[in-house]
Amino acid sequence: MPHRKKNSNAFDFDAVVIGTGPAGEGVSMQLSKAGKRVAAIERYESVGGGCTHWGTIPSKALRHSVSRLVEYNQNPLFNDNNSTRSLTFADIMQHASGVIRKQSRLRSSFYERNSVPVITGEASFIDKNTLSVSRNDGSVETITAKQFVLAVGSSPYTPKDIDFKHPRVYNSDTLLSLKHHPKTIIVYGAGVIGSEYASIFRGMGVKVDLVNMRDRLLSFLDTEISDALSYHLWNNGVVIRHNEEYESVETHDDYVVLNLKSGKRMKADCLLFANGRSGNTAELALKNVGLKADSRGQVKVNSNYQTEVENIYAVGDVVGYPSLASAAYNQGRFAAEAMLSGECHKALVEDIPTGIYTLPEISSVGKTEQQLTELRIPYEVGRAQFKHLARAQIADTVVGSLKLLFHRETKELLGIHCFGERASEIVHIGQAIMQQEGAGNTIEYFVNTTFNYPTMAEAYRVAALNGLNRVF
């Protein structure tokens, strides 16, 4: 540990941030740049949190590799002898591991440049100004601070009646250490994580059974987009079972059996259980400061990201919605402002973009058709099919479309829904217009501006014209 000067209050630090994911990084950097003495505590050897090591970065790197593999196998320019190339999970993890290392080194450099020491160990509260940190070598250190931030993230929900130590049973964290190459897999849970991994494994040629507890996939999406995903998974050979719940999981040396409450039995080489996540609060000894996490390990905060204990703040997955890496970083910055000035003058934008990295990709921002109908807002729809765009034809990414929802009378842009390759990039063009004040956020912007040609962005012009032609 570096030598620490104590201030007049005799605290080791002005603030200690527990966790180094996007949320923790946002707080630490903002407080350090404001001249505060900050330390970060990380239970693992490398900074970056679940986002860098087990979640966002590795799964998207895996997806990219599989997407290129599918493209290679389907493109006659590269594959003119009709021989299908395959890669094992371990093969494509090598690429993902390289990205993880680069990201972790980059994030580590932020802490070094901003003079924020990173203490490796497991943190637990002694009182509201004191932490006990258990290091990996068995030693225990006591650290005091005026303020604390819980940026501890979340972990996959693992019910006790399923043996997750069995080599054929995985959650989204342990899946990254998959050694064998399964021919069949059951994905239990059809949320964002389950749908993404179902796409990834199917792209690798693995037979996939996707078990969904609800009556349709990703029910928070616009219904047409959800239906499009269902169709493309089905068309690629994924078996989707809706309205199902598990009864039990039988584990064997080289396969697993999933018994459903409906009486169905399913057998596969391995099981990925991807049904929910819980906040990482169990080891924090929150009772010592008078805090209590809910059944999902989450803590309540006010608009300043302040818990019920005035000097303890919380950001990121541990506070629940929206549980996105992109939003978590901003939450960290906003919490730092509240810690510095007593009040946070900023808030997350109301319309937070959603990026879902299935094959094909999905991204949306704003209202869905179902929400606008329920609110009785008179809207119209403008569509652009990717198969009609020159850039999509050139790149052979013709699956998908862009859908714009706008007010019939004011032409205000109300929702953007994109399905297809690069959807999460395309959506940001429309998002920028949606955030404009007054008359600047109308669909007519896309008609009156000039787009590069050929581009995928041109879909906005096509969709805007399509929508305006419906208005009479």
Alpha helix segments (H runs only) across 290-376: 325-341, 369-374
Asked if 21 and 316 count as a contact pair (C-beta separation under 8 A), the reply is yes
| 49 is known to lie in a ligand binding site | yes
| 17 is known to lie in a ligand binding site | no
Asked if 148 and 131 count as a contact pair (C-beta separation under 8 A), the reply is yes
- The reply to whether 169-275 and 360-468 are identical in fold is no
pLDDT, mean of residues 284-313: 96
| CA–CA dist 175, 98 (Å, integer) | 17
Identify the pLDDT of residue 169. 98
What are the φ and ψ backbone dihedral angles of 386, each rounded to 5 degrees? -60, -30
Asked if 168 and 270 count as a contact pair (C-beta separation under 8 A), the reply is yes
Domain boundaries along the sequence of the chain: 13-156+278-341, 169-275, 360-468
pLDDT digits (tens, 9 = 90+) for 366-398: 999 999 999 999 999 999 999 999 999 999 999
Identify the pLDDT of residue 137. 86
Asked if 167 and 253 count as a contact pair (C-beta separation under 8 A), the reply is no
pLDDT at 6 over 60: no
Asked if 297 and 280 count as a contact pair (C-beta separation under 8 A), the reply is yes
Q: Both tokens of residue 131?
A: 């932490």
Give every CB contact of residue 379 below 8 A, 6+ residues apart in sequence: 369, 372, 405, 406, 407, 408, 414
Question: What are the CA-CA distances from residue 78 to residues 65, 75, 393 (Å)?
Answer: 16, 6, 16
pLDDT at 5 over 60: no
pLDDT digits (tens, 9 = 90+) for 139-150: 999 999 999 999
| 194 is known to lie in a ligand binding site | yes
Decide: helix, strand or coil at residue 392.
helix
Residue with tokens 């021919």: 183
pLDDT digits (tens, 9 = 90+) for 73-124: 887 777 666 667 777 888 888 888 999 999 999 999 999 999 999 999 999 9
The DSSP code for 55 is S
Phi/psi region, residue 337 (left: phi>0; alpha: psi -120 to 50; beta: rest), is: alpha
**Which CATH code for domain 13-156+278-341?**
3.50.50.60
| 191 is known to lie in a ligand binding site | yes
Helix axes 89-113, 56-74, angle to 10 degrees: 140
pLDDT at 7 over 50: no
Residue % of the chain over a pLDDT of 70: 97
| 6 is known to lie in a ligand binding site | no
pLDDT digits (tens, 9 = 90+) for 233-273: 999 999 999 999 999 999 999 999 999 999 999 999 999 99
| 42 is known to lie in a ligand binding site | yes
Identify the pLDDT of residue 360. 93
pLDDT digits (tens, 9 = 90+) for 299-333: 999 999 999 999 999 999 999 999 999 999 999 99
* Entry field: residues in the chain: 472
Identify the pLDDT of residue 86. 78
| 68 is known to lie in a ligand binding site | no
Question: What are the CA-CA distances from residue 467 to residues 154, 379, 408, 452 (Å)?
Answer: 41, 10, 9, 21
pLDDT band at 9 (very low <50, low <70, confident <90, very high): low
Task: Return the CATH architecture of domain 169-275.
Answer: 3-Layer(bba) Sandwich (3.50)
Q: Both tokens of residue 41?
A: 């505590």
Superfamily in which the 360-468 domain is placed by CATH: FAD/NAD-linked reductase, C-terminal dimerisation domain (3.30.390.30)
Which amino acid is it at 190? A
Q: Which residue has the higher pLDDT, 326 or 184?
A: 184
| 45 is known to lie in a ligand binding site | yes
| 51 is known to lie in a ligand binding site | yes
Asked if 446 and 384 count as a contact pair (C-beta separation under 8 A), the reply is no
Instruction: Give the N- to C-terminal CA distance of the chain in Å, as an integer.
Output: 70
Q: Across 375-466, where does the E strand assignment appear?
A: 379-385, 400-407, 413-420
In this prediction the pTM is 0.92
Asked if 248 and 273 count as a contact pair (C-beta separation under 8 A), the reply is no
Identify the pLDDT of residue 114. 95
| 195 is known to lie in a ligand binding site | yes
Q: Could you check whether the bond before residue 22 is cis, i.e. omega within 30 degrees of 0?
A: no
What's the longest Cα–Cα distance across the chain? Answer: 76
| 189 is known to lie in a ligand binding site | yes
| CA–CA dist 368, 414 (Å, integer) | 8
| 122 is known to lie in a ligand binding site | no
pLDDT band at 3 (very low <50, low <70, confident <90, very high): very low
Mean pLDDT score of the chain: 93
Closest CA to 187 of 172, 205, 166: 172
